[in-house]
Amino acid sequence: MTKTAGDEDALVAALKGGDESAFVELVDRHTPAMLRVARGYVPSREIAEEVVQETWIALLKGIGSFEGRSSVRTWLFTVLVNIAKRRGMRERRDADVAVMAFTGGTVDPARFRDADDRFPGHWRPDEVPSPFPDTPEGSVLGDELITLARRELDTLPERQRVVVMMRDMLGLDSAEVCELLEISVANQRVLLHRGRAAVRQVLEDYLRETP
């Protein structure tokens, strides 16, 4: 899914020369992810499309001075997030505080032994996790798990979803995500961990039911 920067330098050079096919190639490569991310900030698909379009136009306007210090993708998402935030109607200012205020665990506490047990805080014997099976590329089970993961991502709280998508679908690193979303490293980690843990739980539930 993530492609190396090398051919992207060539695309940027071509785009500077006004090459339409280079633009189309970049659009095809980045727009689906941009729409997905924008959707986390604005109330409708239509507005998300406007945000994405505005971002591409900003790229075209700025391409002459684009020096390739950051990747095109990082550039696009930085601009995208800024435009999306401006257009976004949801209140986000207190969100950083809210992240830390929630202290619940990501695994059902009933799966662990009580304080009066000989091994408090350890897995109960009937709740010990089992390894997830191997799922070769294109296997039926593998595809089912991907579908489940996708569905669960859609139900995550918006900020968790955006962080998980940026880290695990787009492959951005923690520093990039913190900068894009203007959140602390600690909050980024909390959001990422909760999002991943929620997906893990869904996959585990499914695999436990599947013989």
| Chain residues that interact with another protein, rule: CB under 8 A | 1, 18, 20, 23-24, 27-28, 31-33, 35-36, 49, 52-53, 56-57, 60-61, 105-107, 109, 112, 120-123, 128-132, 135, 142, 145-146, 149-150, 153, 164, 168-169, 171, 174, 185, 189, 192-193, 196-197, 199-200, 203-204
Report the C-alpha gap between 120 and 111 in whole angstroms.
Answer: 11
Task: Please give the structure tokens belonging to residue 199.
Answer: 């997906």
Closest to another protein by CB, 88 vs 166, is 166
What Cα–Cα distance (Å) separates residue 109 from each residue in 65, 128, 192, 198, 207? 54, 13, 20, 14, 20
**CB closer to another protein out of 4 and 91:** 4
The least CB distance from residue 28 to another protein, in Å, is: 7
**Neighbour-count burial for 81-115, b at 16+ CB within 10 Å, e otherwise:** bebbeebbeeeeeebbeebeeeeeeeeeeeebeee
Nearer to another protein, 5 or 24 (CB): 24
The nearest distance, CB 200 to another protein, in angstroms, is: 4
**C-beta of 164: minimal distance to another protein in Å?**
6
Name residue 112's beta-bridge partners: 123
Smallest distance from another protein to CB 137, Å? 9
**Residue (43 or 69) nearer to another protein, CB:** 43
User: Cβ of residue 151: shortest distance to another protein, in angstroms?
Assistant: 10
d(CA 78, CA 86) in angstroms, rounded, equals 13
Q: Are 5 and 71 in contact (CB under 8 A)?
A: yes
- Minimum gap (Å) between residue 93 Cβ and another protein: 25
Judged by beta carbon, residue 91 or residue 101, the one nearer another protein is 101
Question: Of the two residues 68 and 105, which places its CB atom closer to another protein in the complex?
Answer: 105
Gap between the Cα atoms of 170 and 172, Å rounded: 6
Q: Give which of 49, 53, 30 is closest to 39, Cα–Cα.
A: 49
